[in-house]
Amino acid sequence: MTPPAPPAGSATLTWAVRLLFGQVAGLLAVTVLLVYLDATSHASAAESAASVTGFSFLMTAALALVAFSLARRRRWARAPAIVIELLLVAAGYTMLRVGGLLAIGIPVLILGLVGAGLLLAPGTRRALGLLDGP
């Protein structure tokens, strides 16, 4: 008896992974900027700045782990990825309603909605072995 064939590729999973890697790149750029700002700032707020930079670094690493795991079709990575995308929706909404940052809030909101939609799509679930059928 032969083992079952791996699930077929999915365009939605491919695009979700690409989107996550794009988010990793963006968060890495923010982290590098924070390191630069920490190195060139006054020492009065160094501890606070270092904690923000450390948090940014940890979130970059966590997002990269989720993106790499989804690229390798690890089922467990889908749930944290959906949470990340929904947090982007919440952040974008907050930027719009409270901060009045339309130029940043709208793209962040759309990015989160698109990412969540790709991760929730039947093609993604099928590719990860979470949905039976063609």
Q: According to the model, what pLDDT value does residue 68 have?
A: 96
Neighbours of 72 (CB within 10 A): 9
Contact 34, 56 (CB under 8 A): yes
Note the pLDDT tens digit of each residue in 112-129. Answer: 999 999 999 999 999 998
Distance of alpha carbon 40 from alpha carbon 122, whole angstroms:
48
**Radius of gyration of the CA atoms of the chain, in A:** 18
The full set of domain ranges for the chain reads 11-127
Average pLDDT over all residues of the chain: 88
Contact 76, 65 (CB under 8 A): no
Note the pLDDT tens digit of each residue in 6-48. Answer: 445 689 999 999 999 999 999 999 999 999 988 887 767 777 7
